[in-house]
Amino acid sequence: MKRDDVEKIIETARRAGQIPDLSKINLAEVDLSGINLHRAYLSGANLSGANLSGANLGWAYLREADLSQANLNRVNLNSANLFRANLHKANLNEADLRRSNLRGADLSHAYLYRVNLRGANLFRTNLVYADLTEATMIGANTSGADFSLANLTEANITQEQLSIVSSLHQTVMPNGLRRS
């Protein structure tokens, strides 16, 4: 499927007053930069290696979607549902993930420089080897999250949030904070 096909599906659904449903669609390696997928259903979709930089995925439903190695630089994922999504090696630099549900998601080896995770649900999220340099995580639920070997340099996270994660093994900690 190509970008034009996706845009037609979105336009047709919105004209009919419906939410675009792209569940289980294969969009691997497709350039979707800047596309508006606000509130779209993308459950189980294959977006691996896709370019979604600058896209609007606010309130989108991406449950168990494959976004591995996708370019999500500066993407809006505010309040998106990414339950058990695969974001392995994804580029989420400067992305907006406020209030998003990342419960059980795989963000291992992901690039999350200056990402906004304020109020996000990171319960049991895999963040092994993730680069969270200068990330904002105030109010995020970090219970059971695995931050092993992650980089939290200059991250905005509290000692209390770090005390409830499952692992901080060899994690690069923010200034002034320690492993519990």
Partners of 27 in the β-ladder: none
The residue count of the chain comes to: 180
Looking at every residue in the chain, the average pLDDT score rounds to 96
Q: pLDDT by residue (tens digit) across 67-120?
A: 999 999 999 999 999 999 999 999 999 999 999 999 999 999 999 999 999 999
Q: How far apart are CA 129 and CA 150, in angstroms?
A: 4
Residue indicated by tokens 């980089």: 151
Does 151 score more than 70 pLDDT? yes
Does 169 score more than 80 pLDDT? yes
Residues 156, 108, 91, 123, CA torsion sign: negative
User: What would be the CATH architecture of the domain defined by 23-180?
Assistant: 3 Solenoid (2.160)
Q: What is the pLDDT of residue 120?
A: 99
pTM to 2 decimals?
Answer: 0.94
Q: How far apart are CA 1 and CA 25, in angstroms?
A: 8
Per domain, the residue ranges of the chain are 23-180
